[in-house]
Amino acid sequence: MNILITGANRGLGLALATEACKRGHHVIAGVRSPGSDAEGLQKLLAAFPEQVTILPLDVADENSVRYASEQAGSRLSSLDAVINSAAILLGRDQKLEQLDMEQVEQSFQINLYGPIVVLKHFLPLLRQGSQQVIINISSEAGSFAGAYGGDYSYALSKSALNMFSAQLKRELAPAGIIVHALHPGWIKTDMGGDQAPGDAASSAVGILNLVERKTTADELFIDHSGSAMRL
């Protein structure tokens, strides 16, 4: 399979790229700033030189996404999966009175508009693939049912990402393209921190099983094992 992964230079994105390579897939690794802070990805490229294509891809910049899609289109005839993993979590402890509206905008720019613009430009290539799957990495923080009165910008952007995923699922169902919004678990990454009980590698195994359709789920919003999450 040809699999596009955004934010592939660290955290869950890198774990997904690694697991996909181990399974013999070709990874188009979207990276905001190739070269900096991407040692893990460089190691992966060295280990699987035929299977990794690194593309500059800043999900907050439509020109960058368009250019990346053109680059991918010139190298590949089709794409079979897109995993939108890139995201930011800002203003962790801000209560409403302290909310920094610029950070709210930035969060929506990256966490919501990012996946939208990535899919807008990569969908033509994805339509040429087979057994296609789109995974928008969301979060339990975006669950209405689990609203916890914090992380406003992050939670709201993920909640809206779930809605975008629901819309897209409906639009692409006739084409046989699967769409999920997926909570990867609380995992040890720069975002998740050291206290997290889970690890990115195990989450990536579950997500790749969904990408390969070894695990299937009817629900839109699921976790990495394919179990339904409350919207």
Residues in contact with ligand NDP by CB under 6 A are 6-7, 9-13, 32-33, 37, 57-60, 85-88, 110, 137, 139, 183-184, 186-187, 189-192, 196
Amino acid at 55: L
Question: Which residue number is nearest to ligand NDP in terms of Cβ?
Answer: 11
Between residues 67 and 186, which has the closer beta carbon with respect to ligand NDP?
186
Q: How far is the CB of 105 from ligand NDP (least distance, A)?
A: 13
Nearer to ligand NDP, 173 or 206 (CB): 206
Separation between Cα atoms, residue 32 and residue 6, nearest integer Å: 8
**Shortest spacing between CB 174 and ligand NDP, in angstroms:** 28
**Per-residue tokens: 168:** 């897209």
- Cβ nearer to ligand NDP, comparing 78 with 109: 109
Nearer to ligand NDP, 128 or 209 (CB): 209
CB of 179 to ligand NDP, least distance (A): 16
User: Measured from the CB of residue 176, what is the shortest distance to ligand NDP in angstroms?
Assistant: 25
Q: Which long-range contacts (CB under 8 A, 24 or more apart) does 92-95 make?
A: 92/150, 92/151, 93/150, 94/152, 95/150
